[in-house]
């Protein structure tokens, strides 16, 4: 496993075998203008993340994370990257993974014997961020054999988990139900239950900063 207090870019592990590689675009939790925009939902989400961070550092028994949803370019990934770095610096093994790329890599690893290794990494991280969930093309295998066991394990062990997405609660169900092979409402509900057990839903309402 990776060393104490590292932040792991899963893509870097797979492509280069590098542990403890920081994602270069992310910055520390200290004051940064991008975290303190004059937007009430941004301030609210920052404060929720800060409270969760403080509780974790102070061993408060509260391991609920956040499912941060909102439109494109509002800074969901950025703010999670800042806190992922902060968790790692505080000594927690932390993974942040861009979910569509993670899924692409897992699919390409079928038959190599590496899939269980990747799943175990995601299961066992002290703090896990799955970024841009819903941006991938969903399949039964990914939903049922990758995502479900990760969320199930983390729920059973009360492990801190975060997700970002353009999907809200209403569109999340449709995404989880429909795969390239079939429509399965029951399995979608099973995953939704675990997301709800692990995380609170919060919406980041803001403009698209990619075009500013």
pLDDT at 35: 59
Residues 6+ apart with CB under 8 A from 192: 172, 173, 176
Segment 19-47 mean pLDDT: 58
CA angle 204, 208, 209 (to 5 degrees): 105
50 touches 66 (CB < 8 A): no
- Chain centroid, CA 93 distance in Å: 14
Higher pLDDT, 121 or 201: 201
Nearest residue to 129 (alpha-carbon basis) of 148, 154, 109, 105: 154
Phi, psi of 74 (to 5 degrees): -85, -10
pLDDT, the chain, mean: 80
Higher pLDDT, 5 or 150: 150
Segment 145-173 mean pLDDT: 94
**Band (135; pLDDT cuts 50, 70, 90):** confident
Percent of the chain whose pLDDT exceeds 90: 32
Residue 180: helix, strand or coil by DSSP?
A: coil
Residues 6+ apart with CB under 8 A from 112: none
Segment 48-62 mean pLDDT: 91
pTM above threshold 0.75: yes
pLDDT at 34: 58
Which H, E and C letters describe 15-73, residue by residue?
HHCCCCCCCCCCCCCCCCHHHCCCCHHHHHHHHHHHHHHHHHHCCCCCCCEEEEECCCC
Q: Provide the CB-side half-sphere exposure for 129 (13 A, CA).
A: 29
Residues 6+ apart with CB under 8 A from 178: 138
- Chain centroid, CA 209 distance in Å: 21
């Amino acid at each position: 496993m990776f060393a104490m207090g590292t932040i792991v870019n899963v893509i870097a592990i797979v492509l280069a075998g590098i542990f403890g590689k920081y994602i270069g675009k992310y910055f520390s939790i200290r004051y940064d203008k991008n975290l303190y925009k004059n937007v009430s939902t941004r301030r609210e989400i920052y404060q929720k993340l800060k409270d969760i961070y403080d509780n974790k550092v102070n061993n408060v028994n509260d391991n609920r994370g956040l499912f941060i949803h909102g439109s494109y370019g509002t800074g969901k990934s950025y703010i999670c990257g800042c806190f992922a770095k902060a968790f790692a610096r505080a000594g927690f093994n932390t993974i942040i993974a861009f979910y569509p790329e993670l899924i692409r890599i897992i699919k390409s690893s079928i038959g190599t014997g590496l899939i269980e290794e990747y799943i175990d990494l995601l299961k066992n991280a002290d703090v896990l961020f799955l970024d841009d969930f819903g941006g991938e093309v969903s399949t039964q295998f990914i939903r049922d054999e990758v995502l479900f066991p990760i969320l199930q394990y983390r729920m059973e062990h009360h492990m801190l988990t975060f997700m970002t997405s353009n999907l809200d609660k209403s569109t999340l169900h449709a995404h989880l139900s429909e795969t390239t092979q079939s429509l399965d409402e029951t399995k979608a509900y099973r995953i939704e239950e675990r997301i709800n057990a692990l995380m609170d839903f919060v919406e980041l309402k803001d403009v698209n900063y990619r075009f500013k």
